[in-house]
Structure 1
Amino acid sequence: MVKLSRDKRAYETHRSKDNVVKVPSISSSGRSSVFATANSTSVAAQIGGTAKLPCIVRKFNNGVVSWIRKDVTPPTILTIGLGPYIADDRFMVEHARHLQNWDLVIKHVRPSDAGLYECQVSTHPATSIFIELRVTEASAEIIGAPDLHVRAGSTLRLVCTILHSTETPLYVFWYHDQRMINHDAGVKVTIDRSTSVLQLQDADTTHSGNYTCDPANAVPAYINVHVLNATEGNDS
């Protein structure tokens, strides 16, 4: 208990009397003899995704590495060493001894997670770096929306781009009206880090309707597809 109290006092060393967070100047290069990670590093993560805030510690002798949320009142201790300090299992420390990293991992990122975080080593005096987390909202966009006209018998090809994403989606579901069609006969779906392509061979009028591209952790996109018989005129 005595050690924890001493550590808590150390966490307050960068806060002024008027309750304003002071980010210390480490060096012109943003590095110190303690940290290999640059001070004031900025990290982006998307809503619903996973954020990883880096903190590589060169050496800290018998000190303890802790993470603190700094831009809240009062500052919130998140982790001490490898253990969580708050009752929120979204926060954890990823540590590999040979890499000397003490990264803070935040799962299921929320907009309210955006802000300033401190990685602190309880040396005497305590030393820290600050990491900014920016939270984005990923969204899908289908090329050609809102309406696409194709000729019957041709291949229907829909390209869905995922904007503002910081990680490859775990899945992209495609829907025709209300039914998921990823595994339908004649349908081929491919996906990479930021794009999913749906191809449907030999389109006919039954394939007309609303198509939805629904990636994990992103706002879905929609397009209305019109499959035209030869007598209905030219493609537009």
Structure 2
Amino acid sequence: MRINAMLHSTNRWMSLLLFHLVYYSFITDAGLSRSSGPQFGSTEESVTVKEGETARLPCRVLHLKDRKVTWLRRRDLHILTTDQHTYSADERFQIVHEEGTDLWTLVVQYAQLRDAGIYECQVNADPKISRPVTLKPSQTSSMRNNKVFIANNTASTKDGDLRVHIKGAREIFMEEGSSLTLTCLVTSLYGPATLIYWYHDTQLMDYNSPRGGIKMQMDHERGETTSRLTVRNVRTEDSGMYSCVPSGSHPATVRVHIHEGENKAAVQQGGLDETSSSSAVSPASLLFVLVCVYTSTKPLHSPTF
């Protein structure tokens, strides 16, 4: 009987030991499984840059494996990038990721005040995980703005490998209600430029503006890119400096003057219209005027019979 009791006790302890081994093995495996899934590493939660500079929003993802990283803008839930593909029509937004690293950086070139807000780095794990990063652009000083916007419709890099030219005059005079069209030609020895921005004073122009927008055309053989800015139904507040800014070069700029009313000045897009502003009269017209004046002042004589 005593032996049977001992065997029963031994079996009981063996069962308990086996249960604990299985239980802790399960817990450990689950913990390892969770820790080996995607996790966020330590990065800045807020990025502050001056207006017009490049902002870099970091997101470090550990154990990504076959999952994908997505950046979106929280205020409108607009997806900007997924993996290494960009889905925004605004070419200022790009994703930068070096193979073999854990860092996925959302790059915002020429950051504007309107870009301020929260951006989310998401990973399609199960469940989905996300990390917010706040972008805070600050306004540049007036000294910097004045230094950048110097009226010169031609610019180039120091080595001359990249040239920028806004066609037409450096000063443009127009009437309110007209349409402004500016054409910028960028020539590069390294192929057509893919990033060209237009500024009105310090404000970045919208590619898809309802008043016209920006269109681009590339010539790969010549290494040329033509960027055309259109602003329809211009108003006096549209006056100012307009700059064509390709990536890696100084801006080319022109000054636009918008006048109120109609026929207040003999002006047209591209500068003064010499034919309309000139007071010159052709010789034939002048002779006709003199004859009319002479006949109107000469005394009338009664006809003789």
Same fold (TM over 0.5): no
Greater per-residue helix proportion: 2
**More strand as a share of residues:** 1
- Which protein has the larger Cα radius of gyration, Structure 1 or Structure 2? 2
Q: TM-score, normalised by structure 1?
A: 0.44
Considering Cα pairs closer than 8 Å and 6+ residues apart, tell me whether 1 or 2 has the greater RCO. 1
